[in-house]
Structure 1
Amino acid sequence: MQASEKLYNIPLEDILGDRFGRYSKYIIQERALPDARDGLKPVQRRILYSMHVEGNTHDKQYRKSAKTVGNVIGNYHPHGDSSVYDAMVRLSQDWKLRNLLVEMHGNNGSIDGDPPAAMRYTEARLSAIASELLRDIDKETVDFVPNFDDTSMEPVVLPAMFPNLLVNGSTGISAGYATDIPSHHLGEVIDATIMRIERKDCTVNDLMTVIHGPDFPTGGIIQGVDGIRKAYETGKGKIIIRSLVSTEELRGGKQALIITEIPAEVNKANLVKKIDEIRLDRNVDGIVEVRDETDRTGLRIVIELKKDANKEAILNYLYKNTDLQVAYNFNMVAIYNRTPKLMSLPAILDAYIEHQKEVVTNRSKYELKKASARQHVVEGLIKALSILDQVIATIRSATDKRDAKDKLIAQYEFTEQQAEAIVMLQLYRLTNTDITALQEEAEELAKHIQQLEAILNSESKLLSVIKTDLKRVKQKFADERRSKIEGEIEEIKIIKEDIIAQEDVIITVTNEGYIKRTTPRSYSASNGKDYGMKEGDRLIFQKECTTTDTLLLFTSFGNYLYLPVHEMQDIRWKDMGQHIANVIPIEKEEAIISAHIISNFEENENNILFVTRKGNVKRTSVQTLKVQRYSKSLVAISLKDDDQLIHASITSGKDKVILATNKGYVLLFDESEISIQGLRAGGIKGINLKDDDFVASADVLTDEIVELLCATHRGAVKKMKLDIIPVSSRATRGVKILRDLKANPHQIVGVYGVKPGEMFAVLSQSGQFEMINPSELKNSDQYSNGSFVLDTEETGDLQFLIRYTTEG
C-alpha cells in the first residue's frame, strides 16, 4: 500500500445514506422541480437561455433543433441529448403547454402519443412570449453562476415578465417530492398578481374573483370549486376534468356523441381504443362505432349510437370507466429559497412579486448606472463644444492620444471618460445640429435618471412598474379561456339496466365447475339435448334469466363467486362451457356446491342460508352479497379447521330448515332461530352431532312442502310425510328416520322436501343414473329404510340425491 493512501472503516449504510442524500438534493434542486420564481426546471431554463444567446428568437428564422440541443449540452447541461430534446419538444406541444415557449417546425409528436421526429429533422425558435421570460436578462437583473466547466456563465433564474409557474404549470417526480401544478389563464394570473400587489392582505376568496381556476391547454370541463379553493389555500386539492361532449343527429335517425375536448395529459389514441374495446366487449349496449375524426381543424371523436340507445347512461359509463373523465390532484411543490416547498396560491404570487421587485430594482440600478455614465459624457461634450477652439488647439498640440487626454484633464478638468469621448469625437459632430441634439439628450437623461431614482427610492413606484410590465404582457398575449369551470362535482350514477342490452339467456353450471351462457336459439336448435360437457360431469344448475342478472356460485370452502351475466361468454349449447377457474381463480380442491341467479340486490329482502358439514348454520342478507370488485373469490362464511360448506340456498325468512346427518338423524326447525350475520361471521350451531357423525344434506322447506324424499348410500329411497318429523329447536339432535341395522347400516346421502311435480335422480360411484318420480312412491313410516332402486354391489355406493329441476 502506498504511503499516501488512507483507509477508512465506515458502515455501508452511512456511505449509502450520504451518497443518496447528495443525489436526492441534486435531483430536487437541479432536475425535477420548478423554481417558484420563473416556473422552470433547470433543463428548460438552459434551453431557453441558450436559444436567447444564439439569437434564435421569434423574429428570426427557425434553426435546426440539433444545433440548439448541441449548444445546451456543450455549454450548460452535460446530460443525454434525448433528455434535452424531449424537454425542448414538450415546450413546443400545444396540448401540453398553455402558452408555448418554443415554436417548432416539423413533427413534434401528437396528442396520440406519437414520438416527435429526430432532432436533425425538426427546426425550432423561441416563441414571442418566451422572450418575455428572458427580457432584460442582459441588464444584470438576475444572478449568474459559472457553468459546469467554468467556461461561461448561466443564469440561476430568468427575469420572467409573467408568472410562468401558474401560467404553464409543471409536473415532476424527484426523491421524496412530486409536483403537479396545473396551467392557468395568463390574463387571470396577471390580474391576480396585480390584486396581490395592490392588496397584500387579500384572501384566496378575493383572488378567486379574478383567477377562477386552472385553464388546461386541451380545454375540458373542470368540476369542483371547493377542490380548487382548497388547493389554492393549502397547495393540495382535487378536481375532476371532464371531456366536452355534445350530441349530434346522424342520418337514419341515429345519434352520436361528439367529443371535441379531452382532459389534459390524456392520450387520445388510447382513449379511443378503450371506448372501442367497451363496444367490442359489449359492456355497454348501444354503441355502433367509434371513430377518430380529428384533423387540422381540431379534435373530434365520434361515438355512433343505436337509435334507441340511452345516451346519458352510455356517457356516464364512459365517464366512469375511461379517461373521458379523470381526477386531477393538485400538489403545488416548487423550489423556494433553494428548498422544495408546498405552496399556496398567495405564496406563489408573493414569491413571484418578490422576484420581480428584485428584477426591476436590478434593472433600474443597471439603467441608472448606464444613464449616469452617459450623462457624465454628454456634460463633457457640451462643455467641450462651448470651448471648442481651445480644445482643438490643445489636441493639435499633443503628441499622441494619451497626451491629448492628459492635457484636456489637466487644463480643463475633464474626467478620463469625458476626455476619451472628446478625443474620439468625429468632426461632423461639431455642427450646430449636434449641439442641440446633445442638449436634448442631456435633458432626456436627466428626466430618465430622475425616474430611475424614484423607482429605487419608492416601493410604490417600483410596484407600479411591475404592474405596467404585467399589463403589457397581458394585453399582448392573453387569449380566451379554454376550460369551463363548474361548481360541483357531478356524481355519476350508473343503472345497470340502462347500459346493458336485456337479452334472454340460459345459464348452466356443471358439477366440475364449467359454466355456460347460452342463447335460447342455440338451446332450441338442440331441443335441449346434446349438452356439451366432459364425460363423467353432470349438470347441477340450469335457469333462464336476462343479461342484467347476476350469477352467484357458492363453494365448499365457504366462498362465493360473483358473475354478472352480461360479462359471461356466449357459448353454444353443444359446446363445452368455460371452467370457472379461467374466470375467477379458485383452489384446486374447491368445489361448486350451489348456484343462484339474483336480479336485484337492492330490493331483495331474502336471505342466504349456509350449512356446514360440522353442523354450523348462518343466515346472511342477499343485499350484502353485492360488490363492485369481483375478480377473485369472496368470503361467504368463515369456516374453522377442516369444515366444509355443503349447502347455500335462498330463504324468505318464514321457511323451515331441515338438516339430515349421515347416521340417520333429521332436525326440523324454523329458520327464524338462525340470527342474520355478516359475511365474515362463522355462524352458530345448527344441530348437535355425535362424534362420528356429520351433516349429509340440508334443505329449506316452504309451506307448500308436505313430503320428504330420503336416499341412503346403499341405494335405498323412501318417501314420507313431513308431519312425521316434529318441529324442534336449533342445536338439538333431532329424530332418527332409519331403522338401525347391525350389519351394513344405511347412511343418509340426502333428505329433501318434495314440491308437486318435481323429479329426482340418484347417482352412484360408477356413474349409474336412475330417475325417480316421487309421486310413484308410497309413503313410508319413520323407521323404514325404504326400497332399493340401485344394486350398489354392482354400481358402488349411491353418492348423490339430485333434485331434477331447472333451479338445480
Structure 2
Amino acid sequence: MAVKKNNNDNTEERKYSTLTKDILKRVDHISIENELKESYLNYAMSVIVSRALPDVRDGLKPVHRRILYAMYDANLTHDKPYKKSAATVGEVLARYHPHGDAAVYGTMVRMAQDFSMRYLLVDGQGNFGSVDDDPPAAMRYTEARMTKFAEEMLNDIEKETVKFVPNFDDSRTEPSVLPATVPQLLVNGSMGIAIGMATNMPPHNLKEVVNAVIYYIDHQDAEIKDLMRYVQGPDFPTAGIIYGKEGIKEAYTTGKGRIKLRARLEIEETKKDREAIVVKELPYGVVKTNLHEKIAELVKQGKIEGVADIRDESSNRSGIRLIIELKKGVATQIVLNQLWKHTDLEITFGIINLALVNGEPKVLNLKELIKYFVDHRVEVITKRTEYDLNQAKAKAHILEGLLIAQANIEEVIRIIRQSENTEAARNTLMSKFKLSEKQAQAILDMPLKRLTALEKLKIEQELQQLREFIAYCEDLLAHPEKILAVIKDELKNIAEKYGDDRRSEIIGKTNDTEIDEEDLIHDEDVAVSITTQGFIKRVPASSYRTQGRGGVGVQGGKSQGEHYIEHLFVASTKDYLFIFTDRGKAFWMKVHEIPALTKTSQGKSIKFILNLAPDEKITSYFTVSDFNPKQSIIMVTKMGTIKKMELKHLENAKKRGILALTLENNDELIGVSAVESGDDFIMTTASGLALRINEQKVRNMGRAAAGVKGITLDDNDVCVSGNGIHKGESLIVITENGIGKRLSSKQFNAKGRGGKGQIYIKPDNKTGNVVSVKTVGDKDEIMVVTTDDMTIKIKADSIPELGRNAKGVKIVNISDGAKVSDLAVVPADTEK
C-alpha cells in the first residue's frame, strides 16, 4: 500500500530549495589556484613589509621600532629608572604589535646584548643571556630602558618629522619610520628571513660609517671604492678576524658577498712545557659552550689529533679564554689547521644587504645604503625646520600682539573694563589695534605681572631672538646645501659621543680570495731533522751557536742505538718542503707544519704527517720559497739514473704523495735538487767521482718516465748525491769520520751525460765513506750532525778550499763509535 506523503515535508523541501538558490546567487565562482596565489602573495608581502625586513631609512624592523617607540612613549629614557621588561612588552603588545610576547621579549633581549649588537639600543638590568647561549631571565625579573644611543633614533619625533599611521586597531598612531640621527642599518646591521628572501647585514664601526657619509655628502658622485677608504669592512661586537677583502668589496659593490671570520688565538706556554692554543675572541654568532663541546667531540672521534686538554677559563674580568692544551711534540699549526677545518673557529658570513625602499625589498650596495640614509635625514631636517619655523612664527605673532598691548596699556585696560564679556573685549581689541584673534586672546590671558617694564624688555629680547631664528630657518630651507651641512655637524657630534675603535681586524689584500695562512706564521729560520726511524722536528736555527772547526758540538737529539738523526737541513718556516722517498714517491708541505720542539726532543713520527708505507724511507728533500710550477727539478738514483721534470707535476702531491719517478729493481732515489735555467748539476759517487752536467743537456720528462743514464758507475760503486750548482758556489764534502773539504766548482768541467766523472776525494779508512756533498757559498754556514745526535754549526769559509786529490781536514770531533750522519747548509741570507 502506498504511503501518503506529508504536506509539511513538501513545504520544508520548497523552503530549503529556495534558500539554497538564494545562497547560490550570492556565491562568486573563482579559481582556487588564483585565490591561493593571491592569498599567499598577500601573506608574503605582509611578512616582508611588516615583519622580517628593515627599512633602509632607520634600519629597523617593525618590532624593533615599536619597542623603542613604546619605551619613548613611557618616558623610559637613559636617565630615568629602569622598568620591568614585562611592562614594556605588555605596552608593545597592547598598543602596537599584536603578536607573541616571547618574540617581542626575545627581540628586546637581543637589543640589550653587547655580543649581539655593536651599539646597544636597550639598557638591560638583570640576566639578559650570555655568549654561552644561556637563556635570559623571565621578563618579570628583568628591567630595561633605552640607551642614550637609542634616544638619537627618536630625536625630533615630536616635531612632525615622520609620518604616523594608525596602529592595528586604529586606537592610536605609531611612527612608520624613526627620525634616526644615526645610520642604524649600517652600524648595527640586521638579520631576517622573509618569504623567498632574507637579509643578513653585518654591523660596522660608527666612526668609519660617519666618515663615509660625510664624504658622500661632500662628493655625491663618489664611487664605491672611494667610500671603502673610510668603511674598511664589517666590525662585529665579538671582534674576531676577517680574512680577505674580496668578499667585502663584492658585498659593497653588488649588495651580496661572503667573508671569512676567524677567532683570535694566542699561543702560550703552559707550566707543563706544553703549548696551548688560547681562544680570545670568537667569530660573530658562535656559541662558546657549543664550540667547546664540538672540539671535545672531534678529539674523541680522532678527527683532531694532538689535544691533551680543553678547559674554559673565561670570566667577566679576563673575557673569553678557552684553553686548548696540546700534547708534547705536536705541531701547533697542524692542530690549528684541523680546528679551522672542523670547527666554528672559522665561519663564513654571507652578506645580503636587503632592505625596504619605499616599501619594496631591494638589494643595496654601500653607496645606495648611504644615499637613502642621507635622503631620509634631509627630509627629517626639512620637516623639523618647517615645524620649528611655524612654531617660531606663531610665538612671534603672539609676542608682537603683547608688545602692542603694552604700548597701549591704558587703552587696553579701558576696553577690557568697559566690555560686557570676554568675546566683546576680544572683538574690540582686534578692531582697535588690528590684532588677530590669537593675539587678542593672548592679551586677555596675559597676567598683570607682564605689564612691568622688565617683562616688556624680556618680550622684546625674546621676539628679537625669534626673528633671528625665523630668518635662520627660512635661510636653511632656501639652501639645501646648508641642510647637508647640518647633517654633517650632527653626524660628527654622534661620532664624537658614541664612536669607538674598530674591534674586528681585517687581514688580506683586496684580491685575496682564500685565507692566507702565512699571515699567522712567524717567519724564522729553523733546523729540520729527520731520524732513521722517521721522527721529524724543527728548532730555531738561532738556538745553535756558531763554533770553530774541529769542535764537538751540542746535543741535538736523543740517539738510541740505530735511532739517530739521519737528515738535517735549514729552511724558513714559510718555505715549501719537498720530500722524496727511496721508492720515488714525492710529498710536499710547508715547513711550519713540522712539529716545533726542543733540541733534545725526539720529534714526531712523520707517518702522522705524510702518507708513507710502513717500510718506506725518506732519502732526499729540497726547499723553495715560492712554488713555481715551471721550475725544474733533477732527480738522481743510487744506480746513476737522472731525470729532469717540471715542478708542476708534483702540484697535487701534498701529504698524500704522488709517484715522481719509476725505478728499476734494486734502485732507489737518493737525491733531488731544484735547478734554474742554465744551471749546472753535479752527481757524486761513493768512490769519489763527480760528473758535472749542464741542466739543458737533460730534457724535461713526464711524471711516469723512468729517467735516463746520468753517470757511468764502476762495479760496486753507487751515487751518493746530486746538487744544482749556482754561480759562485763551491762543493763541500764530509765523510763519516768527520773529515771534509771545500772544492771550487771550477775544478769540474761540464761534460755530457753518461760520463764517469772526475775525482773529488779519495776516501780511505781514515776518512771513511762519503756521507754528504752539498753546494755552499763563502758566507754560508754549515751544520753537521752525528749518529750520537751531536750537532755543530761552523762557518763555511773556516773549511779550506782544497784540490780534488786532497783528503781534507777535521771538521768535527766525534766520539768513539759515532759517525757523521748528515750535513746541512745555512745560507747567509737566512742568517740575516
TM tier relative to shorter chain: 0.5 to 0.7
Kept in 1, the 8 Å contact 2:294–2:343? The answer is yes
Q: For 2:124 and 2:490, how far apart are their aligned partners in 1? A: 27
Kept in 2, the 8 Å contact 1:103–1:127? The answer is yes
1:456-503 CA deviation, whole Å, 9 max, x = no partner? 111111111111111111111111111111124424699xxx9xxxx9
> Which residue in the other structure is 1:71 paired with?
91
1:18-54 CA deviation, whole Å, 9 max, x = no partner? 1111011111111111110000001110111111011
Q: For 2:358 and 2:606, how far apart are their aligned partners in 1? A: 67
Kept in 1, the 8 Å contact 2:611–2:657? The answer is no
SS in 2 for 1:19: helix
AA matched with 1:345: L
SS in 1 for 2:323: strand
Determine if the alignment matches structure 1 residue 481 to structure 2 residue 502.
Answer: yes
Q: 1:265 aligns with which of 285, 292, 295?
A: 285
Q: For 1:85 and 1:47, how far apart are their aligned partners in 2? A: 9
> Which residue in the other structure is 1:318 paired with?
339
Kept in 1, the 8 Å contact 2:270–2:276? The answer is yes
> Which residue in the other structure is 1:302 paired with?
323
Q: 1:284 aligns with which of 284, 296, 304?
A: 304
Q: 2:449 aligns with which of 405, 416, 428?
A: 428
> How large is the Cα RMSD of the aligned pairs?
2.6
Q: Where does 1:136-215 land on structure 2 (aligned, <5 Å)?
A: 136-215=156-235
Q: For 2:28 and 2:248, how far apart are their aligned partners in 1? A: 54
Kept in 1, the 8 Å contact 2:610–2:656? The answer is no
1:63-120 CA deviation, whole Å, 9 max, x = no partner? 0111111111111111111111111111111111100001111111111112111111
> Which residue in the other structure is 2:418 paired with?
397
Q: For 2:171 and 2:354, how far apart are their aligned partners in 1? A: 33
> Which residue in the other structure is 1:380 paired with?
401
Q: For 1:250 and 1:545, how far apart are their aligned partners in 2? A: 25
Q: For 2:420 and 2:654, how far apart are their aligned partners in 1? A: 114
Distance 1:290 1:424, change over 3 A: same
Kept in 2, the 8 Å contact 1:318–1:324? The answer is yes
Q: Please, what TM-score do these two structures have when normalized by structure 1?
A: 0.62
Q: For 2:309 and 2:656, how far apart are their aligned partners in 1? A: 32
> Which residue in the other structure is 2:108 paired with?
88
Determine if the alignment matches structure 1 residue 11 to structure 2 residue 66.
Answer: no
Q: Displacement, 1:282?
A: 3.1
> Which residue in the other structure is 1:736 paired with?
none
Q: Displacement, 1:336?
A: 0.5
Q: For 1:426 and 1:120, how far apart are their aligned partners in 2? A: 50
> Which residue in the other structure is 1:368 paired with?
389
Kept in 1, the 8 Å contact 2:304–2:339? The answer is no
1:309-346 CA deviation, whole Å, 9 max, x = no partner? 21122112111111101111111100001110000000
> Which residue in the other structure is 2:692 paired with?
none
> Which residue in the other structure is 1:409 paired with?
430
Determine if the alignment matches structure 1 residue 333 to structure 2 residue 348.
Answer: no
Determine if the alignment matches structure 1 residue 345 to structure 2 residue 366.
Answer: yes
> Which residue in the other structure is 2:580 paired with?
none
Q: 1:226 aligns with which of 204, 225, 246?
A: 246
Count of residues in correspondence between the two structures: 521
Q: For 1:348 and 1:431, how far apart are their aligned partners in 2? A: 56
Q: 2:45 aligns with which of 10, 15, 25?
A: 25
1:680-737 CA deviation, whole Å, 9 max, x = no partner? xxxxxxxxxxxxxxxxxxxxxxxxxxxxxxxxxxxxxxxxxxxxxxxxxxxxxxxxxx
Q: For 1:486 and 1:430, how far apart are their aligned partners in 2? A: 72
Q: Displacement, 1:296?
A: 1.1
AA matched with 1:7: V
Q: Please, what TM-score do these two structures have when normalized by structure 2?
A: 0.60
Kept in 2, the 8 Å contact 1:65–1:120? The answer is yes
SS in 1 for 2:494: helix
AA matched with 2:124: M
SS in 1 for 2:171: coil
Q: For 1:53 and 1:399, how far apart are their aligned partners in 2? A: 45
Q: For 2:30 and 2:420, how far apart are their aligned partners in 1? A: 74
Q: For 1:330 and 1:136, how far apart are their aligned partners in 2? A: 32
Determine if the alignment matches structure 1 residue 472 to structure 2 residue 493.
Answer: yes
Kept in 2, the 8 Å contact 1:279–1:289? The answer is no
AA matched with 2:425: A
Q: Where does 1:625-640 land on structure 2 (aligned, <5 Å)?
A: none
Kept in 2, the 8 Å contact 1:550–1:599? The answer is no
Kept in 1, the 8 Å contact 2:429–2:435? The answer is yes
Gaps of at least 5 residues in structure 1 are: 505-543, 553-597, 608-651, 655-808
Q: For 1:424 and 1:173, how far apart are their aligned partners in 2? A: 58
Kept in 2, the 8 Å contact 1:246–1:258? The answer is yes
Determine if the alignment matches structure 1 residue 603 to structure 2 residue 628.
Answer: no
Q: Displacement, 1:548?
A: 6.0
Q: Displacement, 1:426?
A: 1.1
Kept in 2, the 8 Å contact 1:320–1:492? The answer is no
Determine if the alignment matches structure 1 residue 101 to structure 2 residue 121.
Answer: yes
Determine if the alignment matches structure 1 residue 111 to structure 2 residue 166.
Answer: no
Q: For 2:270 and 2:412, how far apart are their aligned partners in 1? A: 91
> Which residue in the other structure is 2:599 paired with?
none
Kept in 2, the 8 Å contact 1:548–1:599? The answer is no
Kept in 2, the 8 Å contact 1:103–1:125? The answer is yes
Distance 1:599 1:171, change over 3 A: closer
Q: For 2:659 and 2:355, how far apart are their aligned partners in 1? A: 53
Q: Displacement, 1:550?
A: 7.1
AA matched with 1:141: T
Q: Displacement, 1:385?
A: 0.8
Q: Displacement, 1:259?
A: 1.2
Q: Displacement, 1:400?
A: 2.5
Gaps of at least 5 residues in structure 2 are: 1-18, 521-527, 535-604, 614-652, 663-703, 707-832
SS in 1 for 2:222: coil
Q: Where does 1:656-667 land on structure 2 (aligned, <5 Å)?
A: none
> Which residue in the other structure is 2:726 paired with?
none
SS in 2 for 1:253: coil
Q: Displacement, 1:251?
A: 1.1
1:119-164 CA deviation, whole Å, 9 max, x = no partner? 1111010110100001000100000111111110011100000110
AA matched with 2:458: A
Q: Displacement, 1:549?
A: 7.5
1:520-572 CA deviation, whole Å, 9 max, x = no partner? xxxxxxxxxxxxxxxxxxxxxxxx996668799xxxxxxxxxxxxxxxxxxxx
Q: Displacement, 1:286?
A: 2.2
Distance 1:352 1:253, change over 3 A: same
Q: Displacement, 1:218?
A: 0.2
